[in-house]
Structure 1
Amino acid sequence: MRYKVTFVVGLALGYVLGTRAGRERYEQLKKSARELAQNPAVRNAAETAGQSGRQFAGKAFAAVGDRVGGVVPGALADRVRGLRGRGSGADDEWGTSNT
């Protein structure tokens, strides 16, 4: 899935940078991308992916911490704790919540 998304993003970027259709087509693409980003389904999917990523990072941090005997740099430990706190289910900067 990751490779498909990367391919689509690369394809879109290549089209935008390589197009000869001009400014009008660029503005159309920009408007379409903005509308897609503001779609509630897309925003919810992005929020879910972010929460899954934070959970995975927390589990990975715990597994690595167990293997290295608790010798994890303090800055990294603070960063992971900060990421864990963001997934609390409260409203985020988008005005959405995990409902």
Structure 2
Amino acid sequence: MLYRLTFISGLAVGYVLGARAGRERYEQLRKTAQRVAQNPAVRNAAESAAQNGRSAASKAAGTVSSKVGHRLPDSVADRVRSLRDQRGAREDDWGTSNT
């Protein structure tokens, strides 16, 4: 019961403080976030992180596949193989900018 009362009080205090900040503060935060997101340095860093993540995931998938791939049922191994073949045929565009 004490937990619920504490939670509800915190929720009420957060609501009141949030309402006081109002729409102007929300708009100010939104504009700042848009400026940061449109910054070329931030976009390049995000793209680089996405490429490094894809590379690491690919290496991890290869390592896991080589260590436990022989233990997978044939149906799962066939499905993984077909998905890998489909993905290799076309390059994805995650993390790339169109600017």
TM-score of the superposed pair, with normalisation by structure 2: 0.60
Deviations along 1:49-90, whole A, 9 cap, x unmatched? Answer: 000000000000000100113535525872696389337xxx
Runs of at least 5 residues in structure 2 that lack an aligned partner in the other structure: 1-13
Q: Distance in 1 between matches of 2:81 and 2:60?
A: 12
Q: Name the one with the larger helix percent.
A: 2
Higher RCO (C-alpha 8 Å, min separation 6): 2
Q: Does 1:95 find its partner at 2:91?
A: no
Q: Is the 8 A contact 1:37 1:43 kept in 2?
A: yes
Report the alpha carbon displacement of residue 95 of structure 1 after superposing the two structures with TM: 1.7
Report the TM-score when normalising by structure 1: 0.60
CA distance in 2, matches of 1:81, 1:36: 36
Look up the equivalent residue of 1:78 and give its one-letter code: L
Count of aligned pairs between the two proteins: 75
Cα separation, 1, equivalents of 2:68 and 2:56: 18
**Identical aligned pairs, as a percentage?**
49
**RMSD after superposition:** 3.2
